[in-house]
Amino acid sequence: MEEGKGEEYLSLFLEETSLYNRIVLGFFLPTPRISQTIPHFFQTWIRNYVGGVLLYFLSGFLWSLYIYYLRRNVYIPKDEIPTKRAMLLQIYVAMKAMPWYCLLPTISEYMIENGWTRCFSRISDVGWPAYFIYLAIYLMLVEFGIYWMHRELHDIKPLYKYLHATHHIYNKQNTLSPFAGLAVHPLDGILQAVLHVFALVLVPTHFTTHVGLIFLEGIWTANIHDCIHGKVWPVMGAGYHTIHHTTYRHNYGHYTIWMDWMFGTLRDPEDDEAKKMN
Q: What is the pLDDT of residues 103-129, one digit of tens each?
A: 999 999 999 999 999 999 999 999 999
Shortest CA distance to 121 belongs to which of 205, 198, 199, 60?
A: 205
Closest listed residue to residue 153, CA positions, set 139, 165, 141, 171: 165
Report pLDDT for 1.
Answer: 37
pLDDT of 274 reads: 58
Measure the CA–CA gap between 6 and 9, rounded to whole angstroms.
Answer: 5
- Backbone dihedral angles phi then psi of residue 68, each to the nearest 5 degrees: -95, -25
Average pLDDT of the segment spanning 13-34: 84
246: left (phi over 0), alpha (psi -120 to 50) or beta: alpha
The pLDDT, as a whole number, for residue 2 is 36
Q: H helices of 126-229, where? A: 128-155, 157-162, 186-193, 195-202, 207-223
Any idea what DSSP says for residue 71? Answer: T
- The tens digit of pLDDT for each residue in 241-271 reads 989 998 889 999 999 999 999 999 999 988 7
The percentage of the chain sitting over the pLDDT mark of 90, rounded to a whole number, equals 67
Residue type, 70: L
Residue 232: pLDDT above 50?
Answer: yes
pTM for this one? 0.90
Q: For residues 196 and 142, is the Cβ–Cβ distance under 8 A? A: yes
**DSSP bridge pairs for 235:** 256
Annotate 79-145 with DSSP letters as a single string: GGSPPHHHHHHHHHHHHHHHHHHTHHHHHHHHHHHTT-S-EES-GGGT-HHHHHHHHHHHHHHHHHH
pLDDT > 60? residue 149: yes
pLDDT recorded at residue 3: 41
pLDDT at 36: 76
CA distances from 63 to 69, 203, 257 (A): 10, 34, 23
- CA neighbor of 18 nearest in space, from 37, 50, 44, 38: 44
Helix (H) or strand (E) holding 35: helix 32-36
pLDDT over 50 at 4, yes or no? no
CB 6 within 8 A of CB 114: no
From the list 202, 206, 167, the residue with the least C-alpha distance to 186 is: 167
Q: Residue 15 has what pLDDT?
A: 94
pLDDT digits (tens, 9 = 90+) for 29-80: 766 677 778 899 999 999 999 999 999 999 999 999 998 988 887 888 888 8
Q: Which helix (H) or strand (E) holds 205?
A: strand 205-206
Mean pLDDT of 184-209: 94
